[in-house]
């Protein structure tokens, strides 16, 4: 029996609910259901990539695009000057819970 697509693949395909804040052909950004900051979005490539550990040189454009989306979100939310964080967790000891590459966009509170 084939394995069900991961949660973030289902969200990107609009098969599972999420509060989507941004979307284009390559990525989707939505609110984290367990926010760690007043603004906590996940920027997720639509193409399944398990983690930073499985990136290939062919993924460099997509990863760069994710950071440009973070910049766009920061500007649109009014944090371009104040600042924000973009975090990526990799593997179990790095705190990765969902094994689909994603970038945490956190703003509205000083990071520590």
Q: Which helix (H) or strand (E) holds 54?
A: none
Specify whether 48 is catalytic. Answer: no
Which position among 40, 100, 102, 104 bears the catalytic label? 102
Instruction: Note whether 30 and 19 are within 8 A (CB).
Output: yes
Q: What φ, ψ does residue 88 adopt, rounded to 5°?
A: -130, 125
Listed in sequence order, the DSSP H helices in the chain are: 7-12, 60-76
Those residues whose C-beta lies under 8 Å from the C-beta of residue 5, and which sit 6 or more positions away, are 13, 15, 48
Instruction: Note whether 84 and 28 are within 8 A (CB).
Output: no
Residue positions annotated with a catalytic role: 102
């Amino acid at each position: 029996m084939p394995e069900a697509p991961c949660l973030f693949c289902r969200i990107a395909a609009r098969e599972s609910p999420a509060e989507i804040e941004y979307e284009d052909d390559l990525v989707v950004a939505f609110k984290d259901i367990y926010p760690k900051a007043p603004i906590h979005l996940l920027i997720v490539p639509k193409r399944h990539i398990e983690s930073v550990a499985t990136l290939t040189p062919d993924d460099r454009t997509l990863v760069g695009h994710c950071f440009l989306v973070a910049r766009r979100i920061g500007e649109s939310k009014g944090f371009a000057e104040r600042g924000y964080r973009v975090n990526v967790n990799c593997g179990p000891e790095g705190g990765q819970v969902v094994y689909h590459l994603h970038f945490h966009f956190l703003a509205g509170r000083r990071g520590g």
